[in-house]
Copies of this chain bind each other. A is one copy, B any other.
Amino acid sequence: MTAEIVPLPRKTPTLDPMLALTAPGMNSVNAVILDRMQSEIPLIPALAGHLISGGGKRLRPMLTLAGAELVGYNGTRHHKLAAAVEFIHTATLLHDDVVDGSEMRRGKAAANIIFGNPATVLVGDFLFSRSFELMTEDGSLKVLKILSNASAVIAEGEVDQLTAQRRIETSEERYLSIIGAKTAALFAAASRIAAVVAECSEREEQALDDYGRNLGVAFQLVDDAIDYDSDAAQMGKDRGDDFREGKMTLPVILAYARGSEEERKFWQAAILGHRTSDADLEQAIALIAKHGALEATRDRARHFAERAIDAISIFPANKARAAMAEAALFAVARGY
């Protein structure tokens, strides 16, 4: 029995093929986003626009567009739905910033810092409502079911993360369950709805769901690694945010599991919020490096990225599939 070895591309994977593939559709999606974030209450577009025009990658709507390309869908229904996906994401970011008391988002002051918590919560609610208006206008009950379920799962994941916060005993399994809900559920839904509008088979729908879900897990793993990576390009959030908030992410879970008794005492104190200085963060980064926890986190991410790539192997090899595969590899490699 021989296994075929698929060589990884020699050059560093980028998001460029994905961006090129989805550029025309993203113009339409962006037009819907700008149009539908408007309101007669001026504070709403001001606050929403601060985040929406703030340089996010719009990866989730891009997944809907790429999925549509992959399955050869020729219509335009998915533009509105991709905008709905981005609105759900934007609403959760606004609420996350309130929940975490964030100071920075995408390299600038977070909305809650500029506009205050009350307006940030309410504009999140507005965008969330708008997303359901957009879906209702499209009229697919199947899409509504997928995205309303994903939204409930995201909220459950966020609450679960809150419950795990400052709990050093959080396991890798629990962590994977949290990021599967808070991040990967929307990646999965964004991908799956492309198959729904294109009226694909259940098997194809599931394949796109699997692609998105695994990609989402990989993405979040690397996000969480970057927060402890002293070499990583800045992501626009403050390095060490997770550390100071006592969030149990995989680099910490692994460094704690692999650490000595003395190191574990450090982690216990740090996660409880008793060690939050710059020197403490440096020590955390050193311990994570000592135990290879960042490489291990990226290795886990690579595993999920490979599952994402294999999930879409049931589709014919075309430009869209290649772009989506490279996006999965990019998710793992970015930040170096």
- A159 pairs with B129, CB closer than 8 A: no
Chain A 144-167 interface residues, beta-carbon cutoff 8 Å to B: 144-145, 148-149, 151-152, 154-156, 158-160, 162-163
Of A39-47, A205-213, A228-236, A309-317, the one with at least 4 CB within 8 A of chain B: A39-47
A117 CB–B CB distance under 8 Å: yes
User: Is there an interface contact between A145 and B159, defined as CB atoms closer than 8 Å?
Assistant: no
Q: Specify how many copies of this chain sit in the oligomer.
A: 2
Q: What B residues does A39 contact at CB under 8 A? A: 156, 159
A152 touches B133 (CB 8 A): yes
Name the residue on B nearest A92 (C-beta).
B125
> A266: CB under 8 A from chain B?
no
List B contacts of A133 (CB < 8 A).
Answer: 145, 148-149, 152
- Asked, given contacts A95-B122, A99-B121, A117-B99, whether A132 binds B144 with beta carbons under 8 Å apart, the answer is yes
Q: By the criterion CB–CB under 8 Å, are A144 and B136 in contact?
A: yes
Q: Assess whether A193 is interfacial by the CB under 8 Å rule.
A: no
Contacts of A330 in B (CB 8 A): none
Flag whether A284 is at the interface (Cβ < 8 A). no
Q: How far is the CA of A163 from the CA of B156 in the complex (A)?
A: 31
- Looking at the assembled complex, report how far the CB atom of A166 sits from the nearest CB atom of chain B, in whole angstroms: 12
Residue of B nearest to A118 (CB): B99
B121 engages A156 (CB within 8 Å): no
Contact in complex: B145, A136 (CB < 8 Å): yes
Q: How far is the CA of A128 from the CA of B145 in the complex (A)?
A: 14
**CB-based contact A43/B155 at 8 Å:** no
Contact B136 A43 (CB under 8 A): no
Verify B123–A98 contact, CB threshold 8 A.
Answer: no
The contact size tier of chain A is 35 or more
Supposing A126-B152, A133-B149, A149-B133 touch, asked if A119 and B40 sit within 8 A by C-beta, the answer is no
A130 CB-CB contact with B under 8 Å: yes
Q: Is the C-beta of A54 less than 8 angstroms from some C-beta in chain B?
A: no
A90 CB, nearest partner CB in chain B, Å: 13
| Residues of B close to A279: CB separation below 8 A | none
Q: Decide if A122 touches B41 in the complex (CB within 8 Å).
A: no
**27 A-B interface contacts by CB (under 8 A):** A39-B156, A39-B159, A43-B159, A43-B163, A91-B125, A95-B122, A95-B125, A98-B121, A99-B121, A99-B122, A117-B117, A123-B159, A126-B152, A126-B159, A128-B151, A129-B148, A129-B149, A129-B155, A130-B152, A132-B151, A133-B152, A135-B144, A135-B148, A136-B141, A136-B148, A141-B141, A144-B144
Excluding A98-B117, A122-B158, 7 further A-B contacts by CB distance (< 8 Å) are A41-B160, A43-B162, A44-B159, A100-B118, A122-B162, A128-B128, A136-B145
